[in-house]
A and B are shown apart, each in its own frame.
Chain A
Amino acid sequence: MSREISTSTATALSEDERLEQLKSKKEPWFSKLPFMSELRMSVGWQRGMLVTGLVITALFVLVAIFAPVLAPYGFAQVKTSDGQTFPTQAAPSAKHPWGTTVGGFDVLSRTIWGTRTAVIAIIVAVVLSIFVGVLLGLVSGYFGGWIDRVLVVIADALYSFPSLLLAILMAIVISGGQSSLWGGIFASGISITVVYVPQYFRTIRAEVMRIKESAYIESARVVGASTWRIMSNHLLKNSTRTLPVILTLNCSEAVSTLAGLGFLGFGIEPTAAAEWGYDLNRAVADVTAGIWWTAIFPGLAIVLIVLGITLVGESLNDLADPRLRARKSAAEVIGSIEDTSVDPNKADDVAVQIEGKPMKTDDAMDTETGVVDKPTVNGSSDEPEQYSDAQRQGDE
Chain B
Amino acid sequence: MSGETVGQVDAKAPSEAKKSKKNRLSGGFFRFVLTRFLLIIPTVFILVTVVFFVMRATGDPISAAQGGRLSPDELQRRIHAAGYDRPLIVQYGDYLLKLLHGDLGTTLTDNQPVSSILIHYGAATFELAVLALVVALVVGITLGRLAAKHRDRPSDAAIRIFAILCYATPVFFLGLVLKLVFSSSMGVLPSSGRSSLESEMQFGRLISPTGFYIIDAFQLGDMRVLGDVLVHAILPAVALGLLTAGVFIRVVRTNVISTYSSGYIEAARSRGVPEKRLLSKHAWRPALIPIITVMGMQIATMLAGTVLTETTFEWKGLGFMLSQYLKARDFVAVQGIVILIAVIVAVVNFIVDVVCALIDPRVRY
Q: Which A residue sits closest to B64, measured CB to CB?
A: A176
Query: Are B168 and A287 in contact (CB-based, < 8 A)?
Result: no
Query: Given A162-B304, A287-B179, A295-B173, are A310 and B46 neighbors across the interface (CB < 8 Å)?
Result: no
B329 adjacent to chain A (CB < 8 Å): yes
SS of A interface (majority): helix
Query: Are B304 and A158 in contact (CB-based, < 8 A)?
Result: no
Query: Given A160-B349, A280-B176, are A165 and B307 neighbors across the interface (CB < 8 Å)?
Result: yes
Q: List CB contacts (< 8 Å) of B139-153 with chain A.
A: 152
**Closest CB in chain B relative to A117 CB, distance in Å:** 15
Query: Are B152 and A307 in contact (CB-based, < 8 A)?
Result: no
Contacts of A172 in B (CB 8 A): 54-55, 58, 326, 331, 334
Query: Given A259-B170, A264-B323, are A161 and B300 neighbors across the interface (CB < 8 Å)?
Result: yes
- Beyond the given A162-B345, A277-B170, please list 18 additional residue pairs across the A-B interface where CB-CB is below 8 A: A45-B154, A156-B43, A161-B300, A161-B345, A169-B55, A172-B55, A173-B57, A263-B308, A264-B307, A266-B326, A284-B311, A289-B184, A290-B180, A292-B180, A296-B177, A299-B177, A302-B168, A310-B167
Q: How many A-B residue pairs have CB under 8 A?
A: 148
Query: Are A265 and B152 in contact (CB-based, < 8 A)?
Result: no
Q: Which A residue sits closest to B172, measured CB to CB?
A: A263
Query: Are A160 and B43 in contact (CB-based, < 8 A)?
Result: yes
B-side interface residues, number (CB < 8 Å): 58
**Closest CB in chain B relative to A22 CB, distance in Å:** 32
Q: Which of A160, A290, A314 touches B345 (beta carbons < 8 Å)?
A: A160
Query: Are B326 and A265 in contact (CB-based, < 8 A)?
Result: yes
B257 adjacent to chain A (CB < 8 Å): yes
Contacts of B55 in A (CB 8 A): 169, 172-173
Residue in A45, A169, A307 whose Cβ sees the most chain B Cβ within 10 Å: A169
For the complex, what is the distance from the CA of A283 to the CA of B172, rounded to whole Å? 11
Contacts of B176 in A (CB 8 A): 280, 283-284, 287, 295, 299
A-B contact pairs, 29 of them (CB 8 A): A45-B157, A157-B50, A160-B349, A162-B301, A162-B304, A162-B341, A164-B307, A165-B303, A165-B304, A169-B55, A169-B338, A176-B58, A252-B168, A263-B170, A263-B172, A264-B326, A280-B176, A287-B176, A287-B180, A288-B179, A288-B191, A292-B180, A299-B176, A303-B165, A303-B168, A303-B169, A303-B173, A307-B168, A314-B164
Q: Which of A44, A260, A289 touches B170 (beta carbons < 8 Å)?
A: A260
Query: Given A287-B179, A296-B177, are A162 and B300 neighbors across the interface (CB < 8 Å)?
Result: yes
Contacts of B312 in A (CB 8 A): 284
**Closest CB in chain B relative to A311 CB, distance in Å:** 6
Query: Given A161-B342, A169-B51, A307-B165, are A323 and B257 neighbors across the interface (CB < 8 Å)?
Result: yes
Q: Which A residue sits closest to B253, measured CB to CB?
A: A324
**Closest CB in chain B relative to A34 CB, distance in Å:** 21
Q: Which of A161, A170, A264, A306 touches B308 (beta carbons < 8 Å)?
A: A264
Contacts of A277 in B (CB 8 A): 170
Q: Which A residue sits closest to B53, measured CB to CB?
A: A173
A-side interface residues, number (CB < 8 Å): 52
Q: Which of A44, A163, A170, A283 touches B304 (beta carbons < 8 Å)?
A: A163
Contacts of B184 in A (CB 8 A): 287-290, 292
Contacts of A302 in B (CB 8 A): 168-170, 173
Q: Which A residue sits closest to B261, measured CB to CB?
A: A323
**Closest CB in chain A relative to B39 CB, distance in Å:** 9
For the complex, what is the distance from the CA of A163 to the CA of B346, rounded to whole Å? 14
Query: Are B308 and A260 in contact (CB-based, < 8 A)?
Result: yes
SS of B interface (majority): helix
A222 adjacent to chain B (CB < 8 Å): no
Query: Are A263 and B311 in contact (CB-based, < 8 A)?
Result: yes
For the complex, what is the distance from the CA of A256 to the CA of B243, rounded to whole Å? 12
Contacts of A284 in B (CB 8 A): 176, 311-312
Q: List CB contacts (< 8 Å) of A137-193 with chain B.
A: 153-154, 156-158, 160-165, 168-170, 172-173, 176-177
Residue in B258, B304, B334 whose Cβ sees the most chain A Cβ within 10 Å: B304
B87 adjacent to chain A (CB < 8 Å): no
For the complex, what is the distance from the CA of A157 to the CA of B41, rounded to whole Å? 11
For the complex, what is the distance from the CA of A141 to the CA of B346, rounded to whole Å? 25
For the complex, what is the distance from the CA of A259 to the CA of B168, rounded to whole Å? 12
Contacts of A287 in B (CB 8 A): 176, 179-180, 184, 191
Contacts of A260 in B (CB 8 A): 170, 172, 308
For the complex, what is the distance from the CA of A260 to the CA of B154, rounded to whole Å? 33
Query: Are A310 and B338 in contact (CB-based, < 8 A)?
Result: no
**Closest CB in chain B relative to A306 CB, distance in Å:** 4
Q: Which of A161, A176, A265, A290 touches B47 (beta carbons < 8 Å)?
A: A161
B270 adjacent to chain A (CB < 8 Å): no
Query: Are A44 and B152 in contact (CB-based, < 8 A)?
Result: yes
A326 adjacent to chain B (CB < 8 Å): yes
For the complex, what is the distance from the CA of A302 to the CA of B341, rounded to whole Å? 27
Contacts of B42 in A (CB 8 A): 153, 157
User: Which 8 A-B pairs rank lowest in CB-CB distance, beginning with the nearest?
Assistant: A162-B304, A299-B173, A164-B304, A306-B168, A157-B46, A307-B168, A290-B184, A295-B176
Contacts of A280 in B (CB 8 A): 170, 172-173, 176
Contacts of B308 in A (CB 8 A): 164, 260, 263-264
Contacts of B244 in A (CB 8 A): none
